[in-house]
Structure 1
Amino acid sequence: MTDLETRTAGRLGAPGPSGALRRAAPALLGYAAVRALGLLALAVWSAARDKSAYTLLTARWDSLWYTRVAERGYGYEVRLPNGDVHSNLAFFPLLPWLERLGAAVSPLSYADAGFVVSLLASLAAAWGIFAVADHVYGRRAGVCAVLLWAVLPVGIVQSMAYSESLFTALAAWSLYAVLTGRWVTAGTLAALAGLTRPVGLAVAAAVWAAALTAYVRDRREGGTDGGRGVRRVLGMLLAPLGAAGYVLWVGHRTGKGPLGYLDVQAGWRNGFDGGVAFARFVAGKFTSFPAALAGVGLIVAVALLARLCVVCVRQRQPLPLLVYAGVVTVLALCASSYFGSKPRLLLPAFPLLFPLAVALARLRTARSVAVVCGVAAVSAAYGAFWLNGSGPP
């Protein structure tokens, strides 16, 4: 067992809900302040361009597809002139289910319910990120991790009627349950994450990796699992059920067998090609001088991302965090999907922020606050500019 694993395993049990909320309060208040700044910047920028900020958040791009699923169910598709078929079967069901529930029990529309779900889920995600970082690195680093997640350039997506916030909340709390030995809870949350986005398999992989490692360690140390072993196995069985169940259902509905979901994604020009399409996209930027600057920026960004992955390993992050962040990163970078969405697809990979959070936590409070405030202002402006652009995030 590594030093970090020994330290995290030796922590006392988690405090009660009220105590946990008080401990996380600085992180949640800071997160809410950053997101409020982002929404204010979006409102001002959109008004200057005679656009509705609320429409950008709730009734554009993917959010329209989610509300259509909530309202009409599955089966809607759009056939493009080039022959591509955009089917709403590509969108996993948990967010539309919650939108439908919100509209059923309140006067909210489906779009309004999606916005409320995302706002609440973003707070739950922030709390979950804090819980994980606090458990591994301490409270100060936990606060910094949440603030860094809030000030990401694409952080405005956390407030959109998209599934990223919901997925990140489920993933973060599943990982926290793994780190604290709550295997059934971890498996249940992983299953729900699998009903939210295809990358939910990353959460299941993290649960499996941690469970198998714990089993091998117990065998090596000659211990007996007892009831803990049963709960661990149950958590492993639950973890992949959400993603696997939906994918198999899509295959049955389309009549194309277990791989039918891949055909649905192919209609959107989505797939996994090991990063070939992304590499070609970056290389294509070097055909002219202004575009070459963007190409250099993309290469630098990928290099920094790789560097963060290496630092996470060197800092001996717990295995489930490494597996989860690694799978999310690989799927985001190696998918042949719309390239403008790759930053958004990386949004749930919050463990990659932990090395930066640890470094930020070591600064004096005044300096760390100044850094966060400066980055938050830039992020708010960029988010407003980004959503007011022509393409989807």
Structure 2
Amino acid sequence: MPRWRAALYRAAPALGLFAAARLTGMTVMALWAWHTGRSPRALLAMSWDSDWYLAIAAHGYGTTLYWPDGVVQSDLAFFPLYPGLVRLVTVLLPVAGGTAGLLVSWTAAGAAAWGIHLIGEKLYGRDVATTLVLLWGLLPHSIVLSMAYTEPLLTAFAAWSLYALLTRRWLWAGALAALAGAARPNGIAVAAAVGATVAYEAWRLFRGERRTDWRMWAGAAVAPAGWAGYLLWVGVRKGDPLGGYFAVQAGWTSRFDFGAGTLGFVRSVVTRPMDLGFTVSLLLTGAGVVLAALLVVERPPLPLLVYTAVLVVIAVGGSGFFESKPRFLVPAFPLLVPVACALRRARPRAAAVVVAALAGVSFGYGTYLLVLAPMAL
């Protein structure tokens, strides 16, 4: 049996559990959407950021909205890979943009789950890998894995790039990191993982523990190309090559302020009543920080540690749209490694209760986010 087919065969139970989790989540959401007189497909394909991506896929860049409170929302804030793939699907298949977006996202989610399983299997064994994939599919914000959003695409390229790093396939790691960087702003975390791993290998080369390999340097050089290339393109278009993209993000009230905005939001939550979604977002972001600390204790390989750390720092250190921070952490699947390892060590009944509780939270909260919540996902 070819190696890739054997790996897919071993991952089949995990992929089946992941698919069952996401299908159940979508079914619960669809039933409640129908109950409220709304279309499940429209909610999945055309909610919040999905509208921006589909508009870019259909018409290209060039839309800017000006709001009375001074917020300036330009579609240049959205990276090009996902709308480009949506446009390609609409050219190849007789489907509308919303359906094409869902096809891209669902395919990417499946590829991401397989990549996560490969990493988990290599580092911790098949049982932990299966649990890790299932937990990723049961995150409170895992509904975005079923929507026309970019998190599945980023996670897919990230997982396979990290696996390539773990197996020392340097060119593949760099190329996949470049694609991850073209998918989302926080895709730079994958390039950071590649760069840190290559720097560590260079140090070992200096000490004479490894032989030099030109592929390693080529992979490191290619890794940030997607992210840096789009930033430069936006900068040139805005007349400021280095700062143009960050000016666009500032128009969305999104900037990196080293956590000042996060602290201000925490103060607001604890001093006055807030919508359920904001409070839960604070709790989930805090849980992400705790899981990051537990991951450090687990001493994972350097690529996973750097990738996860950069995602957490970007989420916690950035300001604006606090309700979206848990979504920004969805691609940080290594955060679930300590939980997956603990569940495999637990008694089967206890583990089953925990998984069932997570499933209930995931399906219920995902339905709330998409059908009932008044704030952006």
In the alignment, the residues of structure 2 paired with residue 303 and residue 270 of structure 1 have an alpha-carbon distance, to the nearest angstrom, of 20
| 1:21-60 to 2 correspondences below 5 Å | 21-60=8-47
Give the superposition deviation at 1:365.
4.3
Quote the Cα distance in structure 1 between the aligned partners of 2:58 and 2:275. Answer: 44
Q: How does 1:1-20 map to 2 (within 5 A)?
A: 16-20=3-7
Measured at CA, do residues 83 and 135 of structure 1 come closer, stay the same or move farther in structure 2, by a change above 3 Å? same
In structure 2, do the counterparts of structure 1 residues 217 and 87 end up closer, same or farther at CA, with 3 Å as the change threshold? Answer: same
Q: What letter corresponds to residue 297 of structure 2 in structure 1?
A: R
In structure 2, distance between residues paired with 1:133 and 1:39: 26
Q: TM-score, normalised by structure 2?
A: 0.95
Distance (whole Å) between structure 1 residues aligned to residue 307 and residue 165 of structure 2: 12
Q: Helix, strand or coil: the match of 1:86?
A: strand
Q: Secondary structure at the match of 1:199?
A: helix
Of 235, 249, 266 in structure 2, the residue corresponding to residue 265 of structure 1 is 249
Residue 195 of structure 1 pairs with residue 178 of structure 2: no
Asked if 1:246 corresponds to 2:242, the answer is: no
RMSD over aligned Cα, in angstroms? 1.9
The residue type equivalent to 1:86 in the other structure is Q
Alignment of 1:94-113 (within 5 A): 94-113=81-100
2:276 paired with 1:285? no
**Alpha-carbon offset, residue 82 of structure 1:** 2.6
1:316 positional shift: 1.1
C-alpha change, 1:72 and 1:373, in structure 2 (3 Å) is same
| Change beyond 3 A, Cα 1:378–1:160 | same
Find the aligned partners of 1:192 and 1:222 in 2 and give their Cα distance. Answer: 31
- How far did residue 297 of structure 1 move? 6.4
Tell me which of 329, 348, 373 is aligned to 2:331: 348
Deviation at 1:52, TM superposition (A): 1.3
* Alpha-carbon offset, residue 286 of structure 1: 2.6
What's the counterpart of residue 327 of structure 1?
310
AA aligned to 2:367 is: A
Question: Residue 140 of structure 1 aligns with which residue?
Answer: 127
Describe the shift of the 1:48–1:22 C-alpha distance in structure 2 as closer, same or farther (beyond 3 A): same
1:363 aligns with 2:350: no
CA distance in 2: counterparts of 1:197 and 1:86, whole angstroms? 17
Match of 1:3 in 2: none
User: Partner residue of 1:66?
Assistant: 53
Paired residue type of 1:139 = R
Matching of residue 386 in structure 1 with residue 364 in structure 2:
no
Partner Cα distance (2:325, 2:275) in 1: 19
C-alpha spacing 1:15/1:305, structure 2 compared with 1 (3 Å): farther
Between the aligned residues of both structures, percent identity stands at 46
1:11-49 deviation line (CA, Å, top 9, x unaligned): xxx971110100101110000000011000000111111
1:163 aligns to 2:163 (yes or no): no
- What CA deviation, in whole Å up to 9, does each residue of 1:135-185 have, x standing for no partner? 111111100111111111001010000000000000010000000000000
Query: Is 1:118–1:161's contact at 8 Å kept on the other side of the alignment?
Result: yes
CA–CA distance in 1 between the matches of 2:363 and 2:352?
16
Residue of structure 2 equivalent to 1:376: 359
- In structure 2, relative to structure 1, the CA distance for the partners of 1:170 and 1:256 (3 Å cut) is same
Distance in 1, Cα, partners of 2:72 & 2:39: 29
**AA at the equivalent of 1:58:** A
- Partner residue, 1:216: 203
Unaligned runs of 5+ in 1: 1-13
In structure 2, the residue corresponding to 1:221 is in which secondary structure?
A: coil
Q: Number of aligned residue pairs: give it.
A: 376
Q: Kindly tell me: are residues 15 and 322 of structure 1, through their superposed partners in 2, closer, same or farther at Cα, counting changes over 3 Å?
A: farther
| Contact 1:65/1:88 (8 A) holds in 2 | yes
**Runs ≥4 residues deviating over 4 A:** 290-303, 364-367
Query: Secondary structure at the residue paired with 2:319?
Result: coil
SS at match of 1:258: coil
Q: Secondary structure at the match of 2:65?
A: strand
Displacement after TM superposition at 1:220 (Å): 1.6
C-alpha displacement at 1:224, in angstroms?
Answer: 2.5
Report if the CA contact (8 A) 2:141-2:327 is conserved.
Answer: yes
Cα 1:292–1:246 change in 2 (3 A) is closer
